[in-house]
Amino acid sequence: MTPVRALTIAHVLDAPVARAPERLALVGRSGRFSYGELDRAANRAAHALAALGVRKGDRVAACLPNDVDIVIAFLGTARLGAIWVGISKPLAAPEKAYCLRDSGARVFLAPADVLESLAAQRESLPDLASAVEVAPGSFARAGDETRPALELDPHAPAAIAYTSGTTGFPKGAVHSHHNLLLPGAVAAASGTYGPELRQGVLLPLTILNLMVLGPLVAFQDGSALVCIDRIDAEGVAEWVRRERVGHFAAVPTILYDLLTHPGVRREDLVSLRRPEVGGAECPEEFRALYRERFGKEVTIGYGMTEAPTAVTRSDGAAAPQPGLCGKAVPQVEIRILDEKDRPVPDGEVGEICVAPATRGPWAGVYTPMLGYWNKPDETAQALRGGVYHSGDLGFIDERGDLYIRGRRNELILRGGANVYPAEVERVLAEHPAVAASAVLGRPDTRLGQRVVAAVQLAAGASAGAEQLAAFARERLARYKVPEQIVLVAALPRNAMGKVVKRELEPLFEVAP
C-alpha cells in the first residue's frame, strides 16, 4: 500500500478521516471512537489545553492509564505544537516530581490518586500551572471542535521520553514529530500489519515508545487501536477475544502466561498473529510454546528510548542464540564502534551506534533524537559524529545480525579481563531454581573489580549460593564466575521493568 507520510502528529488522522471517517479508530474501557469522532475529540482536547494556558512549545505531562483519554490528550497536545511528557505511574512521588520539574511541565493530567500522592511535592514544581484530575472517559468531552490554526515544523520537538534512570537521574530524550511518525510510516509502506489488523497496546502508553508502536502505527495504517488495561493472562485474553486484537508488543512474561494459563482457551486468541517481544532473553521453553501457537519463531526487537523504539528485529532465519537481536530495521544502520569511534570488524565487540540507513528506499530519512532536555553536554556526547551512541555493547556477525553483550557502563574489568554481566546472567538463568539475576562489578584494590551477583529464586525453588557458583563454574571461565552471590526475595526494578543495579550495591562487601 502507499505509505501515509504525515508531516506532523497533528495531521496523522487526516488521511484515514478523509478515506473513511466512520471506520473504528480507538477503543478503550471508557469508549469507542470512529476516525471522525476521534478527530473532533482531539480538537476538543487541544482547545481544553489551550484554555489552561498551553501554547506552542509548552510541556504537557500525563500519568494516565491505558484508555481513550491518554490517546486523545496526546493528539490534542500535538495539535497545539506543545510537547508531550509521559509520566509512569509506578514511579515514586519524588521521581514523578523530578520529571515534571526537569521538563518544566505547565499542565499535568492524572487521576485523583496520583495528584494526591504528589501534594507534598507541589511546592517544588514552580512551572506547573495546572494539575488536572482526569476521570476515565472525561477528558475533552465537549468543546470547540475546530482544528487549531498553527504552522508546525515536523522536525520540532513533539515529546520528551525520560530514560529509565538505571544510573543517576533520568534524562529526557527529545523527539520530533518526524522521529515519532517514521516507524509507523515504514510499517505502513511495507504492509507489515495492514488496515484490517487491529493493534493492541497493553504496556503503559505513558512510555513514549508505546505511543509510537500503538497509536502512531495504527493511525498511519488506518486500523483500530485497542487500549488494553490489564496485563494478567485472562484479562489480556478477554480483550483479544472481544475486540479481535491481531497484534501487540509485550514482554516474555506476559506472553508466557497468556499461552500457559488454564483459564485461557485457544479460541480466545484466534485473532492474534505473531505478537512481538522485546526487552529480555527468551528461554527455549517459551520459544517452543510460541512456535506451537503461532507456527513461527518469536520475533524479538532491540530498541531504546533514544531511537525511538526498535532498531533491530529478528526474522527467525537465524537459530536462536544468546543476545541475538536480528537485523537493522529499514530506516537505520547499526554501526559497531570502538572507544575512539572507529568501526570494528564483524564479530568484534564494540559500542552499538545508530545512524540513518545509507541504502534502500529509506536511506537518509531517519534522524537521531534531538537531544537530552536541558543537557547539552550529555547530548553532545551521545550524538557525537552525527550518530546515536547507545552505551550498549555488542557485535554484528557476517550475516548482519546484531548480538547484545551488555552495557558499556556495566562492563566489569576484572584483573584486565572483560566480563559482560549479560553473559553471566544468561548462564545463571539456565539453573532451574533461578528466576532472575543481576551481575555487577564491585571495587577491588588488587583486581580493579570483582564479579558479584544478586539472585532471585523461582517460586518454591531452593538453591544455595555455593550451588549456584558451582553451576556457573561448569559453564564459564573462572574469572567470570561471581565471587559473591546474594539471594534476594525480588530484584529492584524501575517503571520499565529493568533491574536497578545501583540499589543492589550495598548488599556486597567491598574489598579493602
Please check whether residue 419 is in contact with residue 426, taking contact to mean a CB–CB distance below 8 angstroms: no
Residue 450 lies in a domain: yes
Residue 180 lies in a domain: yes
Residue 283 lies in a domain: no
Q: Tens digits of per-residue pLDDT, 368-407?
A: 999 999 999 999 999 999 999 998 889 999 999 999 887 7
| Averaged confidence pLDDT in the chain | 90
325 vs 415, which has greater pLDDT? 325
Return the pLDDT at 4. Answer: 41
Residue ranges of alpha helices (H) inside 261-405 are 284-294, 376-382
Residue 488 bridge partners (DSSP): 456
Which whole number is the average pLDDT over 306-326? 83
CA dist., res. 166 & res. 160, Å (int): 18
Task: Identify which of 479, 349, 491, 487 has the alpha carbon closest to the alpha carbon of residue 424.
Answer: 479
How many other C-beta atoms are found inside a 10 Å radius of the C-beta of residue 1? Answer: 11
How much is the pTM? 0.83
Sign of the torsion formed by the C-alpha atoms of 205, 208, 214 and 215: positive
Which whole number is the average pLDDT over 460-471? 94
Which positions ≥6 away from 151 have C-beta within 8 Å?
none
The domain spanning residue 481 has which CATH number?
3.30.300.30
Return the pLDDT at 321. Answer: 77
Return the pLDDT at 67. Answer: 98
Residue 275 lies in a domain: no
Last residue of a domain, one of 191, 218, 246: 191
CA dist., res. 383 & res. 179, Å (int): 15
Q: Tens digits of per-residue pLDDT, 247-274?
A: 999 877 788 889 999 999 999 999 999 8
Instruction: Grade residue 190 by pLDDT with cuts at 50, 70 and 90.
Output: very high
Please check whether residue 62 is in contact with residue 73, taking contact to mean a CB–CB distance below 8 angstroms: yes
Last residue of a domain, one of 172, 191, 210: 191
Q: If you ran DSSP here, which 8-state letter would residue 509 be given?
A: P
Return the pLDDT at 281. Answer: 59
Residues listed for the chain: 512
Domain hosting residue 453, numbered range: 412-507
Residue 120 lies in a domain: yes
Q: Tens digits of per-residue pLDDT, 7-57?
A: 899 999 999 999 999 999 999 999 999 999 999 999 999 999 999 999 999
Buried b (16+ CB within 10 A) or exposed e, 238-257: bbbbebbbbbbbbbbebbbb
Residue 107 lies in a domain: yes
Instruction: Grade residue 423 by pLDDT with cuts at 50, 70 and 90.
Output: confident
Tally of domains within the chain: 2
Which positions ≥6 away from 334 have C-beta within 8 Å?
311, 312, 328, 352, 353, 354, 355, 396, 402
Return the pLDDT at 449. Answer: 84
Please return the burial class of 493, using the count of CB atoms within 10 Å of its CB with bins 0-12, 13-18 and 19+: middle
299 vs 248, which has greater pLDDT? 248
Please return the burial class of 52, using the count of CB atoms within 10 Å of its CB with bins 0-12, 13-18 and 19+: middle
Per DSSP, the three-state class of 33 is strand
The domain spanning residue 167 has which CATH number?
3.40.50.12780
Last residue of a domain, one of 159, 191, 223: 191
Ramachandran area for residue 279 (φ above 0: left; ψ -120 to 50: alpha; else beta): left
Residue 184 lies in a domain: yes
Task: Identify which of 398, 400, 394, 265 has the alpha carbon closest to the alpha carbon of residue 336.
Answer: 394
Residue 311 lies in a domain: no
